[in-house]
Amino acid sequence: MKNYFAFLAFVQVALGAAVATVKDVTIDVVNAQLAPDGFSRSTVTANGQYPGPPILVNKGQPLRITMNNKLTDPTMRRSTSLNLDGIFFGSQDVFEEAEPFVNACPVGPNATFVYNVPLGEQTGTFWYHSELSVQYVDGFRGPLIIYDPADPHSTLYDVDDVNTIIQVGDWWQSSTLPLLDNYVATGVVPVSDSGTVNGIGRFQGGPEVPWAVINVQKGRRYRFRIINESARNVFTLSIDNHDMTVIAANGVNTQPLTVQKMDMLAGQRYDVVVAANQAVGNYWFNAPFVGGNPAVNPHQNATLSRAIFRYAGAAKVDPTTPMTLGPADGALVEADLLPLVPTKVLTPDVSMTFNLVVTTGKAQWNINGVSYLSPQTPTLEKVIDGATQAADFNVTENTFILPANKTVEIIFPPTDDDDAHPFHLHGMTMQVIKSMTSNNTNTVNPISRDVVGVGGSGTTIRFKTDSTGPFMFHCHIFWHKFAGLASVQLVDPVDTPKNVQVTPAWEGLCPAYDALPQELQ
């Protein structure tokens, strides 16, 4: 027995060492000629793929990403910046957040930057993308999954692997620079040509590109990790004849909730369990989308945004049922989601109201009358150099100075329309005290997430300022973010320089970027 316990202790130590082993990932940001929807164009990609290769790690496993910028195409931005959407950096590591001109400067062409990412206790479904301007529209986006060996939902599914990651995204056949030029000239947000599922789509009048296929085996239950990697579009997802049971939202476990369809805003993620309990055959995975007036772009046909949900043993043919927009009923209501583990509702110490307004006919959005404009010197660098109060920042930096270890409440008043702006908070999760999907306020057991829809009947969120430093809070419709729909939540600028531990590599980013000619930035 003594030997048994000694062996057990050895195994536990060995397992702990295995979990602690650094996960090394290399991302070469390169231009590649790709045709996700059958139209060939030059793209900006991670390792030549759209979407980029999956980054798969275990809970508590340190992650190190070496990003090599090898961009050469002059028709698109040649600098870049990697963002890990939904991953939270603490006070010491806030510089690794790498939000351009907030936490760091971009990485120029022919340069390398190493991101050291202590994942802490986070688990769930996340994604990565370029955070520079609207560059990820050109293709630089992919999944990041943190597996939990002690997942509390593990009894609900049989399969959870790289093949159960589902990525939906909007796709443009033009590169971002001319799209931005037209947006600035007209104020009309670009409308995508197509929608893609796992990197494959079709457009009206285009070639019949073979559909993406989601393979299942009858009798098994699948945990699908669904990510909306779009820069604008809202996708409505469903699977013909199959229910979906939501078990997580944006990396936070929820009480199981069964639905027939769900709307996903840009940047949102849902984990769902689907039982392969129907007759062996082919079924449509429906992913229609909305995102601007389709008349602006004759290529757009939302019903062509889909994939095949195929059982093992079924013929490799298209489903014989009609291509629909999905069921009429059974939609997910965000306000119905409840946390798996109840958390204490935060009592606000600071309360703010954010009014969102667009300037008609211009590519300009603002929060409380201010349209965000990136400064030349990153916010964090200014703070390290002694900036501590509002007067130390340009008005257009829209910087809100907050105390540490307090609860901040932000109220988004009701609007005249039901359009949802997916607001994303870097660095912290938000308790959704009032969802725009309900008139009710939940001060008992609200869900927490890092992307929430604001608009319609109004939204109220609360978050705890656990980490010091600057954190971006912006609309995840990146065209709107480009047009100023963003702010910086700066937590405790006095103590930030004492807490953050920047590296020489980080300190070298801005001088290197500033020395680049404009065409390489």
Structure confidence by residue, pLDDT tens digits, 420-460: 999 999 999 999 999 999 999 999 999 999 999 999 999 99
3-state SS assignment for residue 126 = strand
Q: Which letter does DSSP use for residue 206 in this model?
A: S
The confidence score (pLDDT) of residue 360 equals 86
> What is the rounded average pLDDT for all residues in the chain?
95
What mean pLDDT comes out for the span 158-169?
Answer: 98
CA 61 to chain CA mean position, Å: 21
416 pLDDT band, cuts 50/70/90, is: confident
3-state SS assignment for residue 186 = helix
156 pLDDT band, cuts 50/70/90, is: very high
- What span, in angstroms and rounded, lies between the C-alpha atoms of 199 and 166? 10
Q: pLDDT tens, 296-317?
A: 999 999 999 999 999 999 999 9
Q: Any residues with CB less than 8 A from the CB of 153 and at least 6 apart, and which?
A: 223, 247, 248, 253, 256, 273, 340
Say which amino acid occupies 28.
D
The confidence score (pLDDT) of residue 16 equals 44
- Radius of gyration in angstroms for the set of CA atoms belonging to the chain, rounded to a whole number: 23
Q: Any residues with CB less than 8 A from the CB of 86 and at least 6 apart, and which?
A: 122, 124, 126, 127, 250, 251, 269, 450, 451
The confidence score (pLDDT) of residue 417 equals 73
Query: Which tokens is 77 given?
Result: 């931005």
Proportion of the chain above pLDDT 70, given as a percent: 96
Q: Indicate whether 325 pLDDT > 80.
A: yes
Q: Which letter does DSSP use for residue 397 in this model?
A: G
7 pLDDT band, cuts 50/70/90, is: very low
Domain architecture of the chain: domains with CATH: 2-152 (2.60.40.420), 162-336 (2.60.40.420), 350-518 (2.60.40.420)
Q: Indicate whether 4 pLDDT > 70.
A: no
- What span, in angstroms and rounded, lies between the C-alpha atoms of 202 and 39? 9
Q: Which helix (H) or strand (E) holds 421?
A: strand 421-425
Proportion of the chain above pLDDT 90, given as a percent: 93
The confidence score (pLDDT) of residue 98 equals 85
The confidence score (pLDDT) of residue 12 equals 37
Q: Any residues with CB less than 8 A from the CB of 179 and at least 6 apart, and which?
A: 134, 137, 172, 190
Residue 329 CB: number of other CB atoms within 10 A?
7
Supply the pTM of this predicted model: 0.95
CA 107 to chain CA mean position, Å: 20
Asked whether the beta carbons of 487 and 398 are under 8 A apart, the reply is yes
Q: Which helix (H) or strand (E) holds 487?
A: strand 486-491
Strands 356-358 and 234-239: unpaired
